[in-house]
Amino acid sequence: MTILQAVAAGLENTEKRKEPKKKSTRYFLDGKVADRELKVCNLCRIVWQKHVFNGKTTIKYYDEVPRYGKEKEACPSCCQ
Ligand SMILES: [Zn+2]
């Protein structure tokens, strides 16, 4: 094997190894974050969640989610 061939093979291997890992990690995180980061606003009593994706922060509000057992934190619209 020449050095070039070895480099090419090495690159190909890393790419093949990286791709499925990335996908499963992302999938796993999505499921976990959804459950963990729900918070209840102690001012307006809405259930809300901070969702960070590609460096952008989105706040989602949930009307129909039970408030029981959620962490209490004032929602961004009450903080303003
Ligand atoms: Zn609020």
- For the record, the structure tokens of 46 come out as 């809405």
Do 14 and 53 lie in one domain? The reply is no
Give the residue from 38, 43, 40 showing the smallest Cα distance to 78.
43
Taking the centre of ligand 1 as the mean of its atom positions, its distance from the CA of residue 14, in whole angstroms, is: 46
* Threshold 0.85, pTM exceeds: no
Taking the centre of ligand 1 as the mean of its atom positions, its distance from the CA of residue 26, in whole angstroms, is: 29
What string of pLDDT tens digits covers the 80 residues of the chain? 777 787 777 766 655 555 555 554 444 444 444 455 789 999 999 999 988 888 998 899 988 878 888 899 999 999 98
What's residue 53's pLDDT? 83
- For 2, the domain range is 1-36
What's residue 75's pLDDT? 94
Taking the centre of ligand 1 as the mean of its atom positions, its distance from the CA of residue 46, in whole angstroms, is: 6
Integer Cα distance of 77 and 67 in angstroms: 18
Burial class, 50, CB count within 10 angstroms (exposed 0-12 / middle 13-18 / buried 19+): middle
What's residue 5's pLDDT? 80
Pair 40, 67: CB distance under 8 Å: yes
Q: Count how many domains the chain has.
A: 2
